[in-house]
Amino acid sequence: MDLTEGVGESSSPPRSFGSFGNYDVRNDVFNRLIENGYDEAVSEPDIFRLRLDAHFNRLSASYGLDVNMDRVEDIMLHQTLLEKAKDPEERPVYHVRFMEVLPSDFLWWPSI
C-alpha cells in the first residue's frame, strides 16, 4: 500500500486564482497594503508580492470573493495562522478579537 500523500484537501495543487471577468483581487489587496503602510509590503514589495500570490494560490478561488477590502490586514493574519498551524507543536492555532454586538432593539426588521 502506497502511503504517499496525494492531491487532496491537505495538499491542494496550485490553483490559478485568475480572474472573475479579468478582475484579480490580489492586485487590490497588494496595493491597499502598500497604501496602508504594511511593513513587509513597503520594505520588500517583490518578496511580499510572491508570498501574497502563494497564499492566494493555495486557496480556492472563492477566497477572493470573501476579501473585505476595508480589512486587508486580515489576509495577512490568516496567512500567519495557516503557517503556524503547519507545526503540530503550535496547534491549535487561533486568533480572538472583540466584536461589538448591538442589542436587538437597534436592529431594523422589515414589517410584514
Q: Which residue has the higher pLDDT, 13 or 45?
A: 45
Q: What's the rounded Cα separation, in Å, for the pair 66 and 12? A: 19
Look at 7-21, 48-62, 96-110 and tell me which has the smallest mean pLDDT. 7-21
- Measured CA to CA in angstroms, residue 26 lies from 22, 53, 78, 106 at distances of 12, 7, 15, 36
Omega before 92 cis (within 30°)? yes
**Mean per-residue pLDDT of the chain:** 80
The tens digit of pLDDT for each residue in 18-59 reads: 444 557 899 999 999 999 999 999 999 999 999 999 999 999
